[in-house]
Amino acid sequence: MSYYLGIDAGGTKTTGIIADEHTVLARATAGSIKVMRVSEAEAAANLAALLRDISQQSGARMGDIVCACVGMAGVIVPRVEQWTRNALQAQLNGKILICGDEEIALDGAFFGEPGVLVVAGTGSIVVGRAQNGAIFHFGGWGPMLSDEGSGYWIGIEAVRAVLYANDHNIDTRLLPAILHQWRISTHAELIDRGNLVPGPDFSQLAPVVAECANAGDAVALAVLEKAGRKLGEIAAHALEKVRASAAPAEIPLQLAFTGSVLGKIPQVRNTFVATVRHTFPEVTLHLEPVDAAMGALWRARQWKKFSTP
C-alpha cells in the first residue's frame, strides 16, 4: 500500500495527516519541529512523536510513505530546510518536499487552482497563485512596516485612536479598557507603555477592541472597520493580479481567508468582504477555515509535479 504524508509545521504545534490515494487515514498533532523556535533535540522528539502517533492510528508503516510534504515558515534559511529534510530522511524512505507555509495554505484553500488567500492573525499577509502557478505576495513585511489589518495593527491603531479621542474630547470606553488590559492607570502611563523599545505586544489589544465595538463604542468600531477596508483593498489588488495573469481568458476568481482576526471579529470580516465585493462582486468566497495540513497532503499526492529532477 502507498501512503502520503502532509505536515503543517507551525511555531507552536505540528499537524500531520496520512492518507492513501483517496482516503485520509489519520491526523495527529505534536509540538513544534521548527529549529528556529525549539532546540534540535526537542524538534526531533516532537517529530518522532508525531510519526509514531500517525503510524499507530493508521496502521501504516513509515517505510511505505511515497512522499511527505512539509510546509513551514523560514524554509529559505538553509539550516531550517536541511535539518528538516535530514530528520525526515532518517525515518522515511519516500520523496520529501519542503515548502513555505503560505504555499500549503494556498493548496489547502484551492488545491492548485488560481486564487488569493488572506492571512490575518497576529500578523497579516496576502498570498496569491496566478494562472501559470506563480506565487506572489502582498504585505507581510512585519508589524512596524506593514501587516495591515492584523491583530498587531489593530492594537496600534486602537492606541492612536484613544490618544486622538483624548485630544478632541471624544468619549470612548477603549481608554479604560486598554488601561485595564495593560494594568496601568493613567494617560501618561499609556503613552510611556506605547513608546517602549522594544514595544509591548499590541496584538493583545485586538480582543479588547472587539469587545468595545460589540458594546457599541464608535471609536473601537471605526478601528475594526478600517482594518477590514485595508485587508479588502490589498485582497482586491491581489485578485486583479490573478485576473491579469490569465489575460485574455477569463477565469473564476476565488478568495479564501484564515487567521483569528478575520475568523473571530465579524466587524473586520464584514467590512473586508464588502470592500472586496465592491470591486469584484463575482468573486467566490471560501468561508470555511483553511486546512494547511490538507494542502501539504495534496502536494504530497502530486509529488511528481513538484519534484526537481
pLDDT band at 250 (very low <50, low <70, confident <90, very high): confident
Average pLDDT over residues 10-19: 92
Give how far Cα 264 sits from Cα of 105, 119, 210, 260, Å. 19, 13, 9, 5
3-state secondary structure (DSSP) of residue 267 = helix
Nearest 5 degrees, angle CA 206-CA 138-CA 38? Answer: 65
Q: Is-contact 8 293, C-beta < 8 A? A: yes
Q: What pLDDT shows up at residue 309?
A: 53
| Bond prior to 198 in cis (omega within 30° of 0) | yes
Each residue's pLDDT tens digit, 259-271? 889 999 999 999 9
How many CA atoms within 13 Å lie on the side-chain side of 135? 15
Dist CA 95 CA 109 (whole Å): 24
Q: How far apart are CA 88 and CA 107, in angstroms?
A: 21
**46: pLDDT strictly greater than 60:** yes
Going from the C-alpha of 80 to that of each of 34, 86, 119, the distances in angstroms are 7, 10, 23
Tell me the three cell numbers of residue 299: 502536494
The tens digit of pLDDT for each residue in 194-226 reads 999 988 999 999 999 999 999 999 999 999 999
C-alpha cell at 106: 494556498
What band does 14 get if pLDDT is binned at 50, 70 and 90?
very high
In this prediction, residue 102 carries a pLDDT of 85
Give the percent of the chain with pLDDT over 90: 74
Look at residue 82 and tell me whether its pLDDT is greater than 90.
Answer: yes
**Region 19-32 average pLDDT:** 96
Domains and CATH numbers, the chain: 3-99 (3.30.420.40), 112-288 (3.30.420.40)
